[in-house]
Structure formats: C-alpha cells, structure tokens
Amino acid sequence: MIWHKPDGTNISREEFDKQLDSIISRDSWIIDGNYQRTLETRIKACDTVFLFDLPTEICIEGALSRIGKKREDMPWFENELDPEFRQWIESFRANQLPEVYRLLEKYKNNREIVVFRTREQADKFIEKLV
C-alpha cells in the first residue's frame, strides 16, 4: 500500500512516483490498482498484465460489498460508498478504459496480457495454476 496514509489522506505524487520507481526496479512485484497517471510506466516495466474488465454493475456491487470491512489497501473503514468514487466507477468504462486498452495494444509485445470479463474467468484461471 503506497497511496493511502493511515489518516485517510494520500501521499504526494512525487512520493508516490518515488515509491513506484523503487517497486518496479525490483526483480518481481505486483501492483493492484488503476492509478491511471502511472499506468504506462507500470505496463512498460511489467511482464504480465491482468485486467478486470467487469461490467459497471459488478464493480459497484464489489465496492458496496467492501464497506465496513478491513482492507489491506485502506487503513480505515469505509461506512458508505463515497459518491465521488461511485461516479468514478460509473464513468470508468467511457472515460478511462479506452486508454487502458490503447496502452495494452501499444505494449502487447513481450508481455502476457490476460483480460477477465467475469469473476468466474479469473477463478478458472487461478484453478489452472494450482
């Protein structure tokens, strides 16, 4: 977890970039999250991308299901779905997903790209690994 501070605020972009550079310079790493501003940097540095291209309704349900639960990526408990975050989810498909696919197309050589359109597809992928 590098973006969120325990008090619910975020680190600066400069500090985020510094920590990101440290992470992607390692031999192996996993980064979960969109962080669109640094997406190209991460795609260029990785060997595998897993994209969850799930329907908006499923993403909203997932966000709602996490309310009130302890999470490793957020050091506080959410009591409700933040309206701004809900709007971000609802507009993601139109506003951000096309850029994600553009970057995946641009960097598709020499890396594995796996797109899951359902949670069941992800579950089956993991079952094959075990």
Strand partners, 10: 4
Q: Has residue 103 been placed in a domain?
A: yes
Q: Has residue 8 been placed in a domain?
A: no
pLDDT band at 1 (very low <50, low <70, confident <90, very high): low
> Which structural domain, as residue segments, surrounds residue 60?
13-129
Of 9, 8, 29, the closest CA to residue 19 belongs to 29
Angle at 129 between CA 121 and CA 126, to 5 degrees: 30
Residues 6+ apart with CB under 8 A from 94: none
Q: Has residue 87 been placed in a domain?
A: yes
Q: Has residue 124 been placed in a domain?
A: yes
pLDDT band at 122 (very low <50, low <70, confident <90, very high): very high
Of 48, 53, 50, 61, the closest CA to residue 110 belongs to 48
Q: Has residue 28 been placed in a domain?
A: yes
Q: Has residue 111 been placed in a domain?
A: yes
- Rounded Cα gap, residues 60 and 90, in angstroms: 8
Q: What does pLDDT average to over the chain?
A: 91
Q: Are 49 and 104 in contact (CB under 8 A)?
A: yes
If one counts the domains in the chain, the total is: 1
| pLDDT at site 87 | 98
The predicted-structure confidence for 54-106, as pLDDT tens digits, reads as follows 999 999 999 999 999 887 777 778 889 999 999 999 999 999 999 999 999 99
Q: Has residue 2 been placed in a domain?
A: no
